[in-house]
Every structure is written in structure tokens, then in C-alpha cells.
Amino acid sequence: MSDAAAAAAKPSLPTIGSRAPSIDAASTHGPLSLDAYEGKWVILFSHPYDFTPVCSTEFLGFARRAAEFEERQAQLVGLSIDSVFSHISWVRTLEAQHGVKIPFPVIADLDRKVASAYGMVHPSENDMAPVRALFFIDPKRIVRACIYYPMTCGRNIDEVLRLLDALRSVDANAGTACPADWRPGDEIILPPPKTAAEAERRVAENRDNPGAKDWFFVKRKP
């Protein structure tokens, strides 16, 4: 692909903090719209093709931990450009061969409407099928995080749950952040002060806090 063609084919990617593009699509659970999940988180994830091995491991992984997403009021929604019939056949095969039922809907994005709205097709990787894109859409329909993996590498379900927990923690504790490798129960971290006066106040307020290492580095219990 020439540089000009590549530039023209660049997908438009939803950005963190923007409103999630609306969805009106066919799925294995019938017509699917984001409105159906009002008040819930939506974890929308694309896979390249049905009946492929890495995608199968991802589907089995998400299905095995579906209850953990449910506990967090999060709805998993899969997507590829295969038909509903192909999806039905694939999830039935996974259940028959692995004993795992796929409980979440899978969008059949044959016209690639959803895939293009969410920038899931990356022509430099593959100009037909979506890459492994995943969006965390919050209950107010704001895109809060996006992860993109290449076709050749499966995602880490544990990390998807960890990031969901981190986003929920940040929402529950306004003005805080989560450090690297944070897990529920760990200390949260305070974003850096924006002014010299704030820095001084931060130091004064945290004299007895062993998690406060410097004016810009303060950890504490949520």
C-alpha cells in the first residue's frame, strides 16, 4: 500500500473521554443497541474471524470469567464481520468441544458499520477483518479506555478485569489514580499537585503518611 493510500485508509479511532459511537447491529442475541445496557459498563471487543484458534481461546477465556464481569455490572459484547449463522455455529462448536457456553452476544458486523465507527479495521495489519480491539464504555456511554492487539496475540482477560476495577476505583474515589499493577485493596495514588501552594499543602497533609515519598508521590488507602 502506498503512503497516500495508507493515509487515506487510516481508521478513525474513538478517543478516551469521547462519546461511544452508537451501535445498532444484528447479534447472536438479536438486534443489539448500546441503549439496552443503560447504567452498565460495556466491554466491546472485536476478533478477526470465527473458527480461528486464538479467537477461540479468547472467547473461552471471557466466557469462563463472565460472572466476574457481571459482578462488576459490565456487559461483554463480542464482534466480528462474520454472519450471525457463523457465530452461532462457532459458539455451539466451542460449547460442544470445550464444555463452555458463550453467554454474551456477538455482533455480526457484515457491513463493518460498527468496526469503522470504532476504528477496528487497521489496513496496515489487515484491510478486511478487525484487529483485536477492546473498548471500555462507561455507564454514561463515554469511552474510558481502548486496547488494540494484533491478530497474532490473544488478550489477557485478567488485565481487562484489572483495568475495569481500576476505572471503577477512580470513579468511586474522585481525584485519585491507580499506580502500575494496581489491584483492588491496594493503595491508590494522588495525581501530582498543579501549583506550588498545592504541593506545599500535599506535603503538610501527609506528614504522617508512610506512603508519601515526595510532594508529587503520595500513596494512601482509598
Least distance in Å: CB of 148 to ligand BEZ?
A: 14
In contact, 128 and 6? CB cutoff 8 Å: no
Is residue 54 part of the contact set for ligand BEZ (CB under 6 A)? yes
Given candidates 17, 30, 39, 53, which one binds ligand BEZ under the rule CB under 6 A? 53
Calpha distance 222→208 (Å, rounded): 16
Query: Looking at 20-28, 44-52, 189-197, 211-219, which segment touches ligand BEZ (CB under 6 A)?
Result: 44-52
Smallest CA-to-CA distance from 15 within 171, 159, 136 is with 136
Please identify, using beta-carbon distances, which residue of 47 and 202 lies nearer to ligand BEZ.
Answer: 47
Given candidates 152, 184, 205, 209, which one binds ligand BEZ under the rule CB under 6 A? 152
Residue type, 168: R
Is residue 48 part of the contact set for ligand BEZ (CB under 6 A)? yes
Q: What is the dihedral of CA 30, 36, 40, 44, to 10 degrees?
A: 40
Smallest CA-to-CA distance from 68 within 135, 194, 183, 160 is with 160
Please identify, using beta-carbon distances, which residue of 56 and 169 lies nearer to ligand BEZ.
Answer: 56
Binding residues for ligand BEZ (CB under 6 A) = 48-49, 52-55, 151-152
Question: Annotated catalytic sites, by residue?
Answer: 55
